[in-house]
A and B are shown apart, each in its own frame.
Chain A
């Protein structure tokens, strides 16, 4: 099975799963039945203008919401299945009631990219912590998120081999990380949630990308 076919399968799975979420904002009001949310967002994060689709399901565990979701992010200016990040995550509110809360997060992601020099597929593990205020209508708080690229498999293009002096392929371990410190805010208007994440990001000494991220998402919840 080719990498392209695998990517298409992952994309189809994400679309069928529909709900996905990189990070919830307003705390879910979970009861006996699960709650769902689907969001779409853009801004500046993984690319100049990524399109991010997320979905999540919130389950009541010990009377607190456990949110499990997936997200698919792809550069909007360069749509295609060669460049995307597919992520699964889980978040759990440590406090039973609305109000002040602390919410740890764990994620596993498969980023892939293809350009004129190389193609690459990787495996990324992320941990995060959100702390702030969350009532049934709005949320405001701070987040700290760390991602570690566990493994990346690079395959040089013909140009990369012929003119860029690259080896045909390489496996790199621990060659990716990013740290994010920022704010997360959300507003729930009926079933519609507007969510914002923005902050500072570190991606290496020689990164020429702006050291910031800012994503605005709009989603729908139902139960």
Chain B
């Protein structure tokens, strides 16, 4: 830990990564600008760059954002360290393949499926039971709140957060910041990623060790058995399993254990 910049890429999909990178949580009241997801990078005035129009939201602007973040924190190009959880893990893996020379270490905590094919093959991918209470709650809430701007849409999507992925083990509730419903909307309608995407086609170009942390959650979609299938994307991966928790716990309830694994990894690779 010699001052090397660490870039954290967050969980819960690109919406949260962007949101948490850019802006702290806002209360329910108030109405931010319509169709104005914040950019990760800052502008001179408010610390945020210009909002992206809704219909331009796609993986490409996230890729450009991350490139700019790394350029910003590592202007001398000495290399950065990535720590990424869930979607953020895949986000970091994608960077790894494009700029292996700019990465000194990468710790990925249950990265999401790196390809569309793997994602489609997940047992719980896209399953929604219309009889579930949260589904009815979400639909019925539109009697009072029209999801026509970010503040309202974020609030409504929050109804799904608690219960939509109950197949995952969870030791403790996970704090959830505003979700960036515009991005979730694009994901649901399969407009966010390019067709037949592969987020890490060239990640093997990174020769160093990549740490992959996973839970042993038997019902979890992204836990250790799935991560074993993703090891081939990397040249020198190490899979370490943290027992007893689930996907979100790696970054919350079991964060201390995760940090211990990551520090040992840093010591091994000299980061």
A166: interface (CB < 8 Å): yes
Interface segment, one of A12-20, A97-105, A183-191, A204-212 = A204-212
A178: interface (CB < 8 Å): yes
A120 touching B162, Cβ below 8 Å: no
How far is it, in angstroms, between the C-alpha of A112 and the C-alpha of B26 when the chains are bound?
24
Known interface pairs A116-B134, A166-B155. Does A152 touch B162 (Cβ–Cβ under 8 Å)? no
Q: Which residues of B contact A167 (CB under 8 A)?
A: 27-29
Min CB–CB distance A85 → chain B (angstroms): 6
Q: Which residues of A contact B66 (CB under 8 A)?
A: none
Known interface pairs A172-B145, A208-B188. Does A46 touch B158 (Cβ–Cβ under 8 Å)? no
How far is it, in angstroms, between the C-alpha of A77 and the C-alpha of B66 when the chains are bound?
44
Q: Which residues of B contact A209 (CB under 8 A)?
A: 138-139, 142
Min CB–CB distance A211 → chain B (angstroms): 11
**Nearest chain-A residue to B173 (Cβ)?**
A163
Q: Which residues of B contact A223 (CB under 8 A)?
A: none
How far is it, in angstroms, between the C-alpha of A120 and the C-alpha of B140 when the chains are bound?
11
- Identify which of residues 112-171 in chain A touch chain B, using a CB-to-CB cut-off of 8 Å: 112-113, 115-118, 120-122, 124, 149, 152, 154, 156, 159-160, 162-167, 170-171
B255: interface (CB < 8 Å): no
- Identify which of residues 107-165 in chain B touch chain A, using a CB-to-CB cut-off of 8 Å: 130-131, 133-149, 152-153, 155-156, 158-159, 161-163
Task: Choose among B27, B54, B158, B188 the residue with the greatest number of A CB atoms under 10 Å from its CB.
Answer: B158
Known interface pairs A85-B143, A163-B175. Does A117 touch B155 (Cβ–Cβ under 8 Å)? yes
Known interface pairs A116-B159, A208-B185. Does A48 touch B144 (Cβ–Cβ under 8 Å)? no
B147 in complex: contacting residue of A160, A170, A172, A206, CB < 8 Å: A206
Min CB–CB distance B146 → chain A (angstroms): 4
Known interface pairs A154-B28, A167-B27, A203-B146. Does A113 touch B131 (Cβ–Cβ under 8 Å)? no
Q: Which residues of A contact B177 (CB under 8 A)?
A: 165
A176: interface (CB < 8 Å): yes
B140 in complex: contacting residue of A47, A149, A164, CB < 8 Å: A47
B152 touching A78, Cβ below 8 Å: no
Task: Choose among A48, A83, A117, A166 the residue with the greatest number of B CB atoms under 10 Å from its CB.
Answer: A117
A65: interface (CB < 8 Å): no
B169: interface (CB < 8 Å): no
How far is it, in angstroms, between the C-alpha of A152 and the C-alpha of B156 when the chains are bound?
14
How far is it, in angstroms, between the C-alpha of A165 and the C-alpha of B28 when the chains are bound?
8
Task: Choose among B139, B146, B159 the residue with the greatest number of A CB atoms under 10 Å from its CB.
Answer: B146
Number of interface residues of B (CB under 8 A): 45
How far is it, in angstroms, between the C-alpha of A166 and the C-alpha of B178 when the chains are bound?
9
B27 touching A204, Cβ below 8 Å: no
Min CB–CB distance B52 → chain A (angstroms): 15
Min CB–CB distance B34 → chain A (angstroms): 8
Min CB–CB distance A214 → chain B (angstroms): 14
A113 touching B28, Cβ below 8 Å: no
Known interface pairs A165-B178, A170-B28, A170-B29. Does A207 touch B142 (Cβ–Cβ under 8 Å)? yes
B181: interface (CB < 8 Å): yes
B176: interface (CB < 8 Å): yes
B137 in complex: contacting residue of A78, A85, A175, CB < 8 Å: A78
A206 touching B140, Cβ below 8 Å: no
A113 in complex: contacting residue of B144, B148, B174, B185, CB < 8 Å: B144
20 A-B pairs (CB sep. < 8 Å): A46-B143, A47-B136, A48-B136, A48-B139, A78-B136, A85-B143, A111-B144, A120-B145, A122-B143, A154-B155, A164-B161, A165-B25, A165-B176, A170-B29, A172-B145, A175-B146, A177-B146, A204-B146, A207-B146, A208-B138
Chain A residues with CB under 8 Å of chain B are 46-48, 75, 77-78, 83, 85, 111-113, 115-118, 120-122, 124, 149, 152, 154, 156, 159-160, 162-167, 170-172, 175-178, 203-209
Chain B residues with CB under 8 Å of chain A are 25-29, 35, 54, 130-131, 133-149, 152-153, 155-156, 158-159, 161-163, 173-178, 181-182, 185, 188
